[in-house]
């Protein structure tokens, strides 16, 4: 962690020289924010390396999708929360999906999940979940 004297901002240094503002001038607050910033940066790097190696799991693609959703300025906060809620619905109804590689998920697997999922939730939740799954697969 570095601190710039004239501005008195704290910055996180990750691996190579990457300057990421911790958005505070207080050192104690910067120390608390540093682990979260490092974790976010490392997860981005892991997703990129998995994508480059061609072994991206659905969980990695979902992380990339969630990062894009959170960073989007076009979506309102409630829309972002709803997209994350859809991700939680999918994660609870199909837990093994997020550990499998994207290329190993077949249309038949999706149809089986959908038949189980349709019995428990309303059509609007089902359609939004399908849209979320499509967006996740588009990240891969």
Cα within 13 Å of Cα(104), Cβ side: 12
Question: What pLDDT is stored for residue 56 in this prediction?
Answer: 81
Average pLDDT over all residues of the chain: 83
Based on the fold, state whether residues 14 and 65 are members of the same structural domain.
no
CA dist 13 and 108 (Å) reads: 45
3-class secondary structure, 4: strand
Residue 48 included in any domain: no
78 lies in the same domain as 103:
yes
Q: Both 67 and 36 in a single domain?
A: no
Q: How many domains does the chain have?
A: 2
Residue 29 lies in domain: 1-41
Assign residue 121 the CATH number of its domain: 1.10.150
Q: Are residues 64 and 126 in the same domain?
A: yes
CA distance linking residue 54 with residue 49, whole number of Å: 9
This prediction's pTM: 0.61
Q: If you ran DSSP here, which 8-state letter would residue 21 be given?
A: E
Q: Could you report the per-residue pLDDT of 71-102, keeping only the tens digit for each?
A: 888 999 999 999 999 999 999 989 899 999 88
CB atoms within 10 A of CB 138: 10
pLDDT tens column, 101-122: 888 899 999 999 999 888 888 8
Q: Quick one: pLDDT at residue 30?
A: 86
The string of pLDDT tens digits covering residues 9-29 is 666 666 666 677 888 888 888
């Amino acid at each position: 962690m570095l601190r710039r004297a004239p501005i008195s901002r704290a910055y996180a240094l990750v691996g190579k020289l990457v300057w990421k503002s911790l958005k505070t001038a207080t050192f104690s607050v910067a120390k608390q924010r540093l682990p979260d910033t490092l974790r976010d940066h490392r997860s981005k790097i892991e997703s990129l390396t998995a994508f480059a190696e061609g072994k991206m799991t659905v969980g990695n693609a979902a992380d990339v999708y969630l990062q894009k959703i959170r960073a989007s300025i076009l979506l309102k906060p409630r829309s972002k929360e709803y997209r994350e809620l859809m991700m939680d619905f999918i994660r609870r109804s199909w837990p093994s999906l997020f550990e499998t590689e994207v290329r190993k998920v077949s249309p038949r697997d999706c149809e089986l999940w959908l038949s189980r999922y349709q019995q428990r939730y309303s059509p609007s939740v089902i359609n939004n979940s399908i849209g979320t799954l499509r967006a996740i697969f588009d990240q891969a």
